[in-house]
Structures are given as structure tokens and as C-alpha cells.
Amino acid sequence: MIFTKKSAIITTLVLAGWYVFGLFVTNALITSGEVAQNDFKNYNVIFLINLPYILGAVVAFIGRTRISKDSSVGKALLALGLTCASLAMGFVTWFYFETILQIEIPYPSLADIFFILYIPLVIYASIHLLKIFTLGLRKTSIVQALILGLISGFLLFKLAGLEFPTISLDSPLTTSLFDFLYAFADAILIALAVVILRLSGGKMTGGLLFLVLALVSMVASDLVFSARVDQGIYYTGDIGDALFTLTGCLFALSVYKIALNFSPKNEIY
């Protein structure tokens, strides 16, 4: 079993407490007239998007207590837990700007820092997971994967009807910078997925498979979100947000499988 009764109760109470606290704040703002009644829906959407990311972080941190913190897997779980936490903070910050401050599309904003911060974390986690397969880790494979990732990034943007962004003086520096970073990050995620697929195997197959799917799903989520924003048809809770929720579920499943495979007697806590 993955959780004891005690840890399951604690996790449930934390999630329920966070939801109730947010619900109380949202209702207080609605009552005071600072936000509209329909923003209640936005709060529930953000909670549902965040739920798998929070669960992923909790499982990662609990799983790490049963594994050597200095091991590659222990470091990978810490990084994956922080990855999920960073993405969750990004969505909460987005909700604050969109609902509380009434900014329709808060971009760029503080939320984007959290959405970018997870990239080096997931790269760090992938590197430590791949150390398990050091014998198969060749420089040629890494170079090939990076080249394929960059090419795929350009092609995906073209297929989505988007131009691969460049830093331009015609738009605000922060906007151009984040446009470029998001596009480059998507290419890196694809490259990571290719590297993992080429080098994974054995008892880690399940966890790494979900990690690869999470990386691919995140790229798809970014592209769909960007396309719908550019077309002016994005709204909170649309297909883009559904894809971000799916990505969170895949990250959580990846963490669960990795922690399960490497915890003593397949038990965590």
C-alpha cells in the first residue's frame, strides 16, 4: 500500500483545508463586490487543475522519506515534487491576477516565473533518473535528441499556426523574453522525452513512461493555450486548462510509479 491511514488522512485534510480556505476568501471577495459571482467557477476550475499537481508534490515528498536523499532517485523525487509545486503556484498566481485583480490574460506576470521555473527542475530530475542508465548514456544520443527536440519545437509551432518567437524590440522586453523562453522550453521538453525514451527500461519503465507522457502533454497544453489566446477564444476551464489538468495527472502518476518502484517493499510511509 502506498499510504497508511495516517498519511492519507493528513493529505486529505491538507487538500480540504486549502480548498475551504480559498473558498472562504473567494466568497468574501464576492460578498464585498470585489469580484463577480461567476468568478466562483474560476476558483473551482483552478482548484481542479491544481489538485493533481499538489498530489504529485505530496507523493514525491513522502516517497523521498523512504529513499536515500543522496541517491539519484531521491534527488529526482525532490526535483519532481518541486516541479509539481512550482506549477501549482503558477496556477494559483494566475488565478489571483485573473480573478482578484481582474486582468483578463495576465501575461506576462509573476505566474510565468513559476511556469518557467519548473523547467530546470524537471531537467534536473531527468538527469538523475537517467544516471540509473549510465551505461547507455552516450553523447551522440544526447546530441541527436537535442537536435530532434529543437527541430520538433519549430515544427510543432508551425503546425499549431504559430511563429517561433524571437526577441524583438517591437514588443515589451518581458513579453518577448517569455515568448522565447516558453517556445525554447517546449523544444527542451521534447528533447528530454526523446532521451528518456531512448535510454529507459527495466523497473523504471512505468514511471518514466508517465514522465514522457507528461512532458509531451505539457507541450501540447502550451501550444493549445497559446493558439487559443492568439485567436481570442481562450476562457478559464476550456480545452487548454483540461490539458493542463491531464498533464498534472501524468506528473502525479510518474512520481507515484517512481516512488513505488524504489521504496522498500513497495511501500511509502
State residue 215's pLDDT score: 93
The span from the CA of 95 to the CA of 106, in Å, is 9
Domain ranges of the chain: 5-266
Q: What share of the chain has pLDDT > 90, as a percent?
A: 17
Residue 119, number of CB atoms within 10 A of its CB: 20
28-70: per-residue pLDDT in tens? 655 555 555 555 566 667 777 888 898 899 889 988 887 887 8
- Mean of all residue pLDDT scores within the chain: 76
Cα angle vertex 143, ends 139, 148, to 5°? 150
State residue 15's pLDDT score: 62
Peptide bond into 172 cis (omega under 30): no
Q: What's the whole-model pTM score?
A: 0.80
Residue 52, CB-side half-sphere exposure with 13 Å CA sphere: 19
Contact 241, 215 (CB under 8 A): no
Contact 257, 61 (CB under 8 A): no
Q: SS3 sequence, the chain?
A: CCCCHHHHHHHHHHHHHHHHHHHHHHHHHHHHCCCCCCHHHHHHHHHHHHHHHHHHHHHHHHHHCCCCCCCHHHHHHHHHHHHHHHHHHHHHHHHHHHHHCCCCCCCCCHHHHHHHHHHHHHHHHHHHHHHHHHHHCCHHHHHHHHHHHHHHHHHHHHHCCCCCCCCCCCCCHHHHHHHHHHHHHHHHHHHHHHHHHHHCCHHHHHHHHHHHHHHHHHHHHHHHHHHHHHCCCCCCCCHHHHHHHHHHHHHHHHHHHHHHHHCHHHCCC
The span from the CA of 52 to the CA of 246, in Å, is 8
Residue where the block lists cell 512505468: 206
State residue 28's pLDDT score: 61
pLDDT exceeds 50 at position 160: yes
Residues 175-191: what's their mean pLDDT?
A: 80
210-253: per-residue pLDDT in tens? 898 999 999 889 888 887 887 888 877 788 888 898 899 899 88
State residue 108's pLDDT score: 85
